[in-house]
Chains A and B, each alone.
Chain A
Amino acid sequence: MLLELFQSFLRIGVGAYGGGVATIRLIYHEIVEIQGWLSSGEMAEVVALAEMTPGPIAVNAATYTGYRVAGVAGAGIATLAVLLPSLSFLLALVALARFPTVRTVVKRLGKLLRPGVLALIAAAVWSIGRAAISGWIPGLFAAASFLLFFLAREKVHPALLILLFGLLGVFLL
Chain B
Amino acid sequence: MAGLKSCPCWRLFTTFFFVGLFTFGGGYAMIPLISRELAQRRKWLTEEEFQEALALGSSLPGPIAPNLAFLCGHKIGGIPGALAGEFGCVLPSFLVILGIALGLSSLFSEHQAQKFFAGAGAAVTGLVAANALQLGMRMASDMVELLIAASALGLIVAFRVHPLLALAWAALAGLVAKGIRRAP
A residues sitting closer than 8 Å to B (CB atoms) are: 13-20, 22-23, 49, 51-60, 63-64, 67-68, 72, 75, 79, 82-83, 85-87, 89-91, 93-94, 106-107, 109-129, 131-134, 138-139, 141-150, 154, 157-159, 161-170, 172-173
Contact = CB atoms under 8 A, between A and B. Distances in A.
A124 B94 contact: no
Most buried by A among B56, B86, B148, B163: B163
B-side interface mostly: helix
Contacts of A173: 115, 118-119
A106 B132 CA distance: 22
A17 B166 CA distance: 13
Interface string B97-125: 11011100000000011111111111111
B123 A166 contact: yes
A161 B55 CA distance: 26
A16 B135 CA distance: 26
A128 B58 CA distance: 17
Interface of B: 18, 20-29, 31-33, 36, 40, 51-52, 54-56, 58-67, 70-71, 74, 79, 82, 86, 89-90, 92-94, 96-98, 100-102, 112-132, 135-136, 139, 145-146, 148-153, 155-157, 162-164, 166-171, 173-175
Nearest to B131: A121
Given A18-B162, A146-B127, A170 B92 contact: no
Q: 5 closest pairs, A vs B, by CB?
A: A169-B119, A55-B93, A86-B62, A132-B121, A116-B170
A-side interface mostly: helix
24 contacts: A53-B93, A53-B96, A55-B93, A55-B97, A58-B62, A63-B101, A85-B61, A90-B70, A109-B55, A109-B171, A113-B55, A113-B170, A115-B146, A115-B149, A117-B51, A117-B135, A120-B152, A120-B166, A123-B156, A128-B128, A138-B121, A141-B119, A170-B112, A173-B115
B161 to A, nearest CB: 10
B124 A128 contact: yes
Contacts of B29: 124, 128
A51 B25 contact: yes
Given A20-B26, A51-B117, A170-B115, A158 B36 contact: yes
